[in-house]
Structure 1
Amino acid sequence: MSKVPQRPELNALFNMPPQDAIDYLQAKGFKIGWDWHETLNEAHSRAFTVAKVARIDLLQDIKKSLIDAMQQGQGLEQWKANITPTLQKTGWWGKQTVINPAGMEQTVQLGSPRRLKTIFDTNMHKSLAAGRYKAMMATVETRPIWVWVHISISNPRKIHLARNGEARRYDDPFWLYAYPPTEWGCKCKVVARRESDVADQNLTLIQTQPKDIEHHQVIVGKSSFTGQDVVSMQTRIRIKQQDGSESFFSPAPGFNSHPASSYLLDAELSKRAVDLVGVDKGTQQIQQVLLSRPRLKAHEAFIKNSLSDTPIQNKTSTVAVMHATDIEFMATQKQAFENPIISLGDQLFLDKRSILSDAEWVDFPRLIAQSWRVLWDQANSQLLYWLPTIESHSANQVVQVAVQSKNGVMQIVDVAVVERSATVDRLNANTYLAIR
């Protein structure tokens, strides 16, 4: 049996089997990042990354050491003792003058006891929070009320302490942006309760409306090798208490990468829907959620944020769910994917912005839900969705959305205007197969 870490703040999170947390960390890919701000936001939910680690093999070593620590119940000091010789042997230690991604010499701090503590705490707390999130999602029928629990060893953050005991439904929009940890060193957690516990335990039940959530850009620092301002998106949530008073809560810039970020929330909801009522009805339920007013508003905010004068944030918006027929076809092609939801990344959106009008991009979830033809591109292993006729294109043209599994995640990889006649030729040549 695995030992339980002896650090009090980790004991508070380790009151559940850590396998879900281990699975979360194991499932991450790898991302090379130089400055700390390149290793945040939603990309961090899917990728393991450490600032200024420019070698995949070293990232692999660090990630494996953290998984081992979690499996064996190691604390910070034991993990540091195990990983430090590896880092020193590879030269990733101390202050060094190196060549940065801009090709310039730069003196940087690589490995150090302080940096190792940050790496350990950040990855442990996020992975454990993800495991807790998954476990709570499995019990929402009986425990749909989620309660913020403040945990602090010393010097509590007053704004986090103020959240202690606040209860919200599991599907409250608040959790999309503020599922702890919500900043460096945050050790708060969420616990699930029954609906009857609201009255029995005198819980403060709060409901968040979409209009209570605002997004704005903030400068979080400067690039260490270009000197340019680094901009990140920050979320500001209005919290209305039952007595009529109001306050605001903002996760730290970059902390939109928690387990309840859009992709992971939708992935878990879709899995649960399919498990409960089957593929056909489950995907229909998710489609209804994606076309609900709050979700369409969230997508609209994604589009507007992406259009603003700000660097790419590596954000995604869930815009569609695969039809049951598409899922069955993918199985015949032995195509592996985690779940049927389809996401659109801000980078692709900006690259393909001119294909549709801004209004059509805002309406994109409805458009792709109305796709009237779905094909399979055998050469590129892609699903091809044909959107409803767009007035700005000729009668022989169609807007085609290509969707592909990337590390198990169904992503839109291209949006293009194609000639119908060319598609007919590919169908006749069996380059394309008709799905529906």
Structure 2
Amino acid sequence: MRAADPAPTTTGVPAARPAPGEPAPPAPGARPARPDAARWPDVARVPAASRARAAITRAVVRRALGGLPLRAEFAGAEPVGRGGPLLEVRDPAAFHARVGTGGLVGFGESYMAGEWDAPDPVAVLTVLAAHAADLVPVPLQRLRRLWALRHPHEERNTPDGSRANISRHYDLSNDLFALFLDDTLTYSSAVFRGFPAAWDRLAAAQHRKIDRLLDLAGVGAGTRLLEIGTGWGELALRAAARGAQVTSLTLSREQRALALDRVRAAGLGDRVAVELCDYREARGTYDAVVSVEMIEAVGAEFWPVYFRTLDERLVPGGRAAIQAITMPHERMLASRDTFTWIHKYVFPGGLIPSTRAVEEAVRDHTGLRLTRRDAFGGHYAETLRLWREHFTERADDVAALGFDETFRRLWTFYLAYSEAGFRAGYLDVQQYLFTKENPAP
């Protein structure tokens, strides 16, 4: 397996690679090394902020945190908050400058720069996620369009844009993902039998999730299955082992290469085809379609096209099983046009839908019928916890792959931020079954 070459992004942030021999990660609680300005220009540089803006930001931040069940400590100032998990701001001037100019993007970059930290970042971020709707005063929320960053035009999920967006995340390095995922290399929520979840049960929980989807779609011997979003091939392998004929689509060259290796190693090359193909370019008809956490990368303007593709590819009587992360509809509407830290550093072009948005897109643009929907957000929180803990435990191995300390803080924040969203109920995950009715006689 080969690590992907550093790829410059539309925001000027390349995939991070340190020089050989970079020192091991610092001890817990130590201030991280200064970010490399060439790799991380917007993290290395603290934005300029006027005195007035800085004063307003300090007042808004202290007001927002003061009413929350946490304790925020600012170097040289009185702590705020009603008590709870600790948020330690080591460099208040830089922290306020970033938040005042970049909002949540600045908040995440401040963590990457080591200007704030927390003994339990998930606990702090869970509190913030639970109060996301009222952290910013209502008058400032009304001015959101004036200060919120906008999506770069080149990150629209056109066919070319989708290829670039997917590559920036999934082509980072197969070896990186293998360090924190279990042996199934499944990068989506597992389904556990009970909590708390244990690492040695994660692979079985991932198979349980996959089997539930295949059962929903009615996949068995002879089924012609289309998978939209290959991952590293575990679902395709499991479907082929049932006797299905699988066509799996991906836009990641790195994922496709490893998925094909795994298919060949399993002796299932005659039952699984993995194609480097956009879902809009799919052809043929199938008895079933399965797509796991793919819709989040589609973009709202293309949701109708995505669901029409499912409809068009299914034969009459066919079934589509979809796993999707969701968020409350009102929060989706409030944030759908905002460029966030996740867009800039993790998933360019992405948007998490609401259950209402999914169901309206299917109703208005297809002939599919919603037959079943099951939510299991608590399982995703546990999945993310296990990934985050495993990633942290293997920090030296991540560094050995060529990912610098700023990247490791980025990835830790991403996993903690996501876990917090599910723990707070701000995010959920659903398994849907859509069916295509047989035409009337």
TM interval, short-chain normalised? under 0.3
TM-score, with structure 1 as normaliser: 0.23
User: If each structure's helix is expressed as a fraction of its own residues, which one has the higher value?
Assistant: 2
User: If each structure's strand is expressed as a fraction of its own residues, which one has the higher value?
Assistant: 1
Q: Higher RCO, 1 or 2 (CA under 8 Å, sep at least 6)? A: 2
TM-score, with structure 2 as normaliser: 0.23
